[in-house]
Structure 1
Amino acid sequence: MPWHARLSLNYRLQEDKTVLQHAHDGPLRIFKSLYPEGESVCHNVIVHPPGGIVGGDTLDIRVNVGAGAHALISTPGATRFYRSDDEPGTQAVHLQLADSARLEWLPLESLAYPGCRAVNRLEMELQGAAELIGWDILGLGLPSAGQPFNEGSFRQHIEWPGIWREQALIDGRDHRLLDSPVGLDGQRCMGTLWLASGQALEPARKERMLEAVRAVLDAGDRSATGARVAASCPNPQLLVVRGVAPLVEPLMQVMQLAWRELRRAAWGLSGGSPRIWQV
């Protein structure tokens, strides 16, 4: 029996405190709100008790952040897309930010198991001076367990209507894409980190953020782990960090470093990682 789960998260600023109201239907839950950085930033963890997505499953997550509120959302583990014989397994995420809202969307990686038929969609809307730091990290197969991604498909869709759209279809039998130097070049993990602004970033501020992130990316010895990363600003409202690696762990480590530096450079925040990442 397929799971059809919905989770709605609504954040509002009340007397300088970001508070959450939520509703759910099916196997999606939210841990209690935490405030390790003070009451202005609300930390939450989304939990999916079944532990993975199979054919016919649909997870629908909607996040609304009101004016002046600031939320940080993560997960306790990877989102696993298991083997599917017929219908695809789908995760759909919609992020909506009001003027001057801030959101950090930081789920741990998605894993595409061999034979999966997966659809992973993320859409975002930002108004006025809203800003969103988010990432999407994908691991193909289970290389450490000797299970390559040699069958199945993964459809990826990230969209900010009118500003940014990314689409990919990764087929386990498409060796040109997976192994060619003009494709993934044999890498089995790929990721994108971004800062999106509802209005054009002031040029000097944008350059400061870009320089700060590039300094972090250049500081480590990536050759030892195989991670390849780079940062750019493809338009006046967007800063993007892209990376590939042979495994999830080295790319996740780099992305976490870049996230910490980006939130410091953009918002003056230097808090540590969400506690769930240390469990």
Structure 2
Amino acid sequence: MSSGGWHAELELWFANAHGKTRLVRRRHCGPLAVQRAFHPEADGSAHVYLLHPPGGVAGGDNLEITCHIAPEARAVLTTPGATKFYRSERGTSTQRTVIDVGAGATCENLPQETILFEGADAAVITRVTLAEDSAYIGWDFVSLGRPAAKERFLAGRLRQRVEIFRGDEPIWFEQVAFSSAPDVLDAPFAFAGHPIAGTMVYAGPMLDDTVERIREGLGEAASGVFSASQLERVIVCRYLGERMSEGKALFLQAWSILREHGLRKKAVAPRVWAT
């Protein structure tokens, strides 16, 4: 359980007005905020950057993000930089994201990576509820330790859970929880010694050859580090490797194919990714 630390809340409401998605209302307390929405796409999709000014999550911090996507609205959510979970001596640091996507709406939740510092005690929870004909693409990257600084995640805890519902029916549920990091990091059935893991889930119109297009599009660059699988209600892409830049590049290609083939629109990357 978390104790002390920052408590921050951010709640956003998006609605479609005259062919453009507007951020019509926002509520926040503590160090979570957004700036204005950007509209770089022809279909009026709103690109919004979620800001956490402290730059890191310390022991006992609790971040709550809630997004309401009204019918026919289209929102792309991202962050300007990595979310860093620092060493914790004051309990669990929690980030909880809840997204509700209305009829005919689309939400793409594409944050930058989560970095777990040595000794972090982190809980990262995402819950998405979709209307029957809405669509969602969400990804997450986790860096276990800081490979560039030769730091491994040899002590600490992680609990990560992703739940996606269509109506009242769960269509995707995944949870990872461990506190004995050395064993999990090196086990062949878990991370197999790799510090970078990524998962992308697509829940939208399903076409039989989408996964094959992803595999062909990524080619040899994906060999040994990337996979794509089509399940009954979702498509799942995964990365497990050594370099965050490699994982992001592969996911960007897969996201582009999912957008063009599934959502029938070209990929337009948020401008903040280029800064």
Matched-pair contact (CA < 8 Å) for 2:255–2:267: no
Which one-letter code corresponds to 1:180 in the other structure? Answer: A
2:18 pairs with 15, 29, 38, which one? 15
Of stretches 207-216 and 258-267 in structure 1, the one that deviates more from structure 2 is 207-216
Structure 1 residues without counterparts, runs of 5 or longer: none
Please name the residue that 2:121 is paired with. Answer: 117
Partner Cα separation in structure 1 for residue 71 and residue 33 of structure 2: 24
Partner Cα separation in structure 1 for residue 32 and residue 93 of structure 2: 15
Matched-pair contact (CA < 8 Å) for 2:153–2:181: no
Q: Which residues in structure 2 correspond to 1:9-158 (within 5 Å)?
A: 9-20=12-23, 21-38=25-42, 40-158=44-162
SS in 2 for 1:261: helix
Please name the residue that 2:189 is paired with. Answer: 182
Partner Cα separation in structure 1 for residue 111 and residue 51 of structure 2: 11
SS in 2 for 1:186: coil
2:177 pairs with 159, 166, 169, which one? 169
Partner Cα separation in structure 1 for residue 45 and residue 171 of structure 2: 27
CA deviation map 1:26-69 (0-9, x unaligned):
11111211111135211110110000111110110001101100
SS in 2 for 1:276: helix
Q: Which runs of 4+ in 1 moved over 6 A?
A: none
TM-score (norm 2): 0.92
Partner Cα separation in structure 2 for residue 9 and residue 216 of structure 1: 35
Which one-letter code corresponds to 2:228 in the other structure? Answer: A
Please name the residue that 1:196 is paired with. Answer: 203
Structure 2 residues without counterparts, runs of 5 or longer: none
Of stretches 43-52 and 242-251 in structure 1, the one that deviates more from structure 2 is 242-251
SS in 2 for 1:213: helix
CA deviation map 1:157-198 (0-9, x unaligned):
111242221111133x4433211222211111111111113x
Which one-letter code corresponds to 2:174 in the other structure? Answer: E
Please name the residue that 1:4 is paired with. Answer: 7
Q: Does 1:212 align with 2:213?
A: yes
Which one-letter code corresponds to 1:25 in the other structure? Answer: C
Report the aligned-residue RMSD. 1.5
Q: Does 1:261 align with 2:257?
A: yes
Please name the residue that 2:246 is paired with. Answer: 250
Matched-pair contact (CA < 8 Å) for 1:30–1:44: yes
Instruction: Name the count of aligned residue pairs.
Output: 267
Which one-letter code corresponds to 2:229 in the other structure? Answer: S
Please name the residue that 1:221 is paired with. Answer: 221
Partner Cα separation in structure 2 for residue 207 and residue 144 of structure 1: 40
CA deviation map 1:115-156 (0-9, x unaligned):
000000000100110000110111100111021111101110
Which one-letter code corresponds to 1:181 in the other structure? Answer: P
Matched-pair contact (CA < 8 Å) for 2:11–2:65: yes
Matched-pair contact (CA < 8 Å) for 2:202–2:235: yes
Partner Cα separation in structure 2 for residue 176 and residue 84 of structure 1: 20
SS in 2 for 1:221: helix
TM-score (norm 1): 0.91
SS in 1 for 2:209: helix
Of stretches 118-127 and 180-189 in structure 1, the one that deviates more from structure 2 is 180-189
Matched-pair contact (CA < 8 Å) for 1:37–1:271: no
Of stretches 239-248 and 87-96 in structure 1, the one that deviates more from structure 2 is 239-248
1:220 shift after superposition: 4.1
Which one-letter code corresponds to 1:164 in the other structure? Answer: W
Which one-letter code corresponds to 2:213 in the other structure? Answer: A
Please name the residue that 1:239 is paired with. Answer: 235
Matched-pair contact (CA < 8 Å) for 1:11–1:19: yes
Matched-pair contact (CA < 8 Å) for 2:126–2:162: yes
Matched-pair contact (CA < 8 Å) for 1:208–1:265: no
